[in-house]
């Protein structure tokens, strides 16, 4: 059994910094990524990471939400850090002719680029996408163009 560090499930300031450090070391997410995700000036984020500056509570909450999504991505990829890193960096294929409920929201970019360009709103999109594979979303409104899976064309 692999021991899980305490900071994986904690949400205090020290744990939040440890989570960011873990993501930098294991997933290759640098200060530039986090500054663009928040959005925040990179120098301020770097100062926060060294405990020399402060982030607003809202921005810390964005980091907490992103950490929960990272945990969902890890679970989705059977806790294989290499697969999650690849998922972050690999560009999604071109959009299919007909959109699918399983298409990632970051079509034609990488997940990392999508998060950097869309910021906090992208976190919800990614989390919803991952959770749809794990748990489904029976309450999501069905689009007219989506065929019902129980009927034949």
The DSSP result for 80-114, as a single string, is -HHHHHHHHHSBPPPPPSS--TTS-TTTTSBHHHH
Tell me what pLDDT residue 43 has: 96
Domain of 103, in residue numbers: 6-134
Question: Does a structural domain hold residue 149?
Answer: no
Q: Cα dihedral angle (44, 48, 52, 57), rounded to 10 degrees?
A: 100
Question: Does a structural domain hold residue 88?
Answer: yes
Tell me what pLDDT residue 70 has: 93
Q: How many domains does the chain have?
A: 1
Question: Does a structural domain hold residue 13?
Answer: yes
Question: Does a structural domain hold residue 140?
Answer: no
Question: Does a structural domain hold residue 73?
Answer: yes
Question: Does a structural domain hold residue 141?
Answer: no
Question: Does a structural domain hold residue 30?
Answer: yes
Question: Does a structural domain hold residue 142?
Answer: no
Tell me what pLDDT residue 97 has: 65
pTM for this prediction: 0.80
CB-facing half-sphere around the CA of 122: CA atoms within 13 A: 23
pLDDT mean by block of 10 residues, the chain; 153 residues: 63 89 94 96 95 94 94 89 93 67 80 94 90 62 49 41
């Amino acid at each position: 059994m692999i021991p899980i560090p305490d900071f994986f499930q904690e949400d205090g300031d020290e744990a939040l910094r440890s989570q960011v450090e873990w993501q930098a070391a294991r997933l290759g997410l640098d200060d530039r990524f986090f500054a663009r995700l928040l959005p925040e000036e990179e120098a301020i984020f770097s100062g926060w990471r060294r405990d020399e500056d402060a982030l607003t509570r809202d921005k810390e909450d964005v980091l907490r939400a992103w950490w929960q999504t990272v945990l969902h991505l890890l679970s989705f990829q059977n806790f294989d850090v290499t697969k999650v890193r690849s998922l972050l960096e690999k560009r999604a294929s071109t959009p299919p002719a007909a959109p699918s409920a399983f298409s990632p929201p970051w079509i034609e970019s990488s997940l990392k680029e999508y998060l950097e360009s869309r910021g906090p709103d992208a976190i919800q999109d990614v989390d919803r996408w991952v959770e749809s594979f794990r748990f489904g979303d029976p309450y999501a409104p069905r689009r007219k163009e989506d065929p019902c899976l129980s009927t034949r064309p």
